[in-house]
Amino acid sequence: MDKLKSAKLKKRAVIAVAAVALAVAMVLNTEFVSGTASAAGQPGAFEPTSFAEDKWPDLITGITDKAVDVTVLAPVADADPAAAGKQYGQDLGAGSFAFPVKATGTVSGVDDTFITLTVPGMPAADAVRIPVGLALNGAPIRDAAGTIKYGDFSNQTDYQEVADALKDLSAKKVLAAADPTSLNGKQITVFGATATGGPPNSYLINPVKIEVVQ
């Protein structure tokens, strides 16, 4: 019995020593990372302003290259927005569309909210305006070129914040540079984006480029 008991004790001792050795080996092969270093290794929070600034040149190119003249778009959209969307726009789902568009006309009015354009060839009941204040909307600019999709973002908040950042860029880079108060009576060409869902017979062109023709 003493020999059996002694053998069991030796076996337990061997197991205990092996366990300790394994634990030591695990510690020696483990890289401990500080909280600061761990945070640095994680993806940073989404930055809508940086994202918008990075995408802005491509959006200008995409919208200007694909832009349909508003005098071509308006008759189709007045009669059937869905047909116009399929032919000229980006399908946003739920019957909504965004359009890359351009217009050449004479500035007939400027206020804190809109630059109003008189565009030859437009249906008589239709109005063309460029938002300059609270009416300015970055969502059509985000959507009209078709290069930025909802699926590119992890959540709705990031998607909306990009639209807000693009609105700010339009205000700073396009409208501020054009100086709306100086445009009254001038002929201009505007490239930008409009979308369905607004007032009927009203085309609000959120601008990415404004050129003074004369």
The DSSP result for 149-199, as a single string, is -GGGSSSHHHHHHHHHHHHHHIIIIIIHHH-GGG-TT-EEEEEEEEETTSS
Average pLDDT along the chain: 88
Q: What is the pLDDT of residue 184?
A: 96
* pLDDT tens track for 103-158: 999 999 999 999 999 999 999 999 999 999 899 999 999 999 999 999 999 999 99
- pTM for the full predicted model: 0.80
Give me the amino acid identity at 40: A
Q: What is the pLDDT of residue 37?
A: 44
* pLDDT tens track for 176-213: 999 999 999 999 999 999 999 988 999 999 999 999 99
Q: How does residue 6 score in pLDDT terms, banded at 50, 70 and 90?
A: low
Helical segments of 67-123, H only = 70-79, 81-88
Phi and psi at residue 135, to the nearest 5°: -75, -15
Residue 98 predicted with pLDDT over 60? yes
Tokens 């092996």 found at: 18
Q: How many CB atoms lie within 10 A of CB 109?
A: 13
d(C-alpha 133, C-alpha 139), whole Å? 15
Containing H/E element for 26? helix 2-28
d(C-alpha 124, C-alpha 165), whole Å? 35
9, 52, 185, 202 from 199: Cα distances, Å: 89, 27, 25, 6
Express as a percent the part of the chain with pLDDT over 70: 80
Express as a percent the part of the chain with pLDDT over 90: 77
Q: What is the pLDDT of residue 198?
A: 87
Going by their DSSP bridges, the two strands 127-131 and 206-212 should be labelled as unpaired
Q: What is the pLDDT of residue 214?
A: 77
Handedness of CA 4, 10, 15, 16 (dihedral sign): positive
Q: For residue 57, count CB atoms less than 10 angstroms from its CB and return exposed for 0-12, middle for 13-18, buried for 19 or more.
A: exposed
Residue 78 predicted with pLDDT over 90? yes
Q: What are residue 68's DSSP bridge partners? A: 101
Under CATH, what is the fold of the domain 48-212? OB fold (Dihydrolipoamide Acetyltransferase, E2P) (2.40.50)
Joined together, the tokens standing for residue 18 give 């092996």
